[in-house]
Amino acid sequence: MVHYRRNFVPGVTFFFTVTLDDRRSSVLIDHIELLRVAFRETQSERPFVIDAIVVLPDHLHAILTLPPDDSDFSDRWRRIKGSFTRSVLATGVKILRDHRGEYSLWQRRFCEHTIRDDGDFERCANYVHFNPVKHRLATSPSDWPFSSLHRYVRAGILPSDWGGDGSADTSNFGERRD
């Protein structure tokens, strides 16, 4: 069995992929406001910066930066997932339990990648923002409402038509090629 080692480095920026257990579910966008609340509550208890994020029906990608003296991203994801799950349950949505008796809304693990430099950050942010197009949920990244791309456009970092006319170089981000 492979023993995966997480890179716990204080104050670092990380790229994450967090996925629902049922990949056919749309609970994340169906209850987007509850997810936003879960993020805000967790940020108030355990600060972090959301540098980029996209929420799709069954998974999300986020780039988060932790405080200089803190490396515990796992606790933050545990809190976000738990808060969201409890909130969704409170709406009356039925969530199955696994063999341990735990709610099985989320996959137990998540993927994390340590951002190495500005180029790596840009590649990951581009991946985040282009992901709805990749999954055929939108024809242009700006068409997807649950994305930090809109914040980037308001700040003048990216043009409003970024990636929508085929001009975004999508060949250098996404899944690893060997």
How far is the CA of 10 from the CAs of 7, 44, 115, 156, in angstroms?
Answer: 10, 18, 13, 29
Per-residue pLDDT at 177? 41
State the virtual CA torsion across 81, 87, 89, 93 in degrees, nearest 10.
-100
HSE value, Cβ hemisphere, 13 Å, CA-based, for 145: 6
How far is the CA of 156 from the CAs of 72, 151, 161, in angstroms?
Answer: 32, 9, 12
Residue range 13-116 in CATH 3.40.50.1370: no
Instruction: List the pLDDT tens digit at each of the 178 positions of the chain.
Output: 555 677 878 899 999 999 999 999 999 999 999 999 999 999 999 999 999 999 999 999 999 999 999 999 999 999 999 999 999 999 999 999 988 988 999 999 999 999 999 999 999 999 999 999 999 999 999 999 999 999 999 999 999 999 986 555 555 554 444 3
Per-residue pLDDT at 4? 61
CA-nearest of 101, 49, 42, 28 to 75 is: 42
Per-residue pLDDT at 178? 37
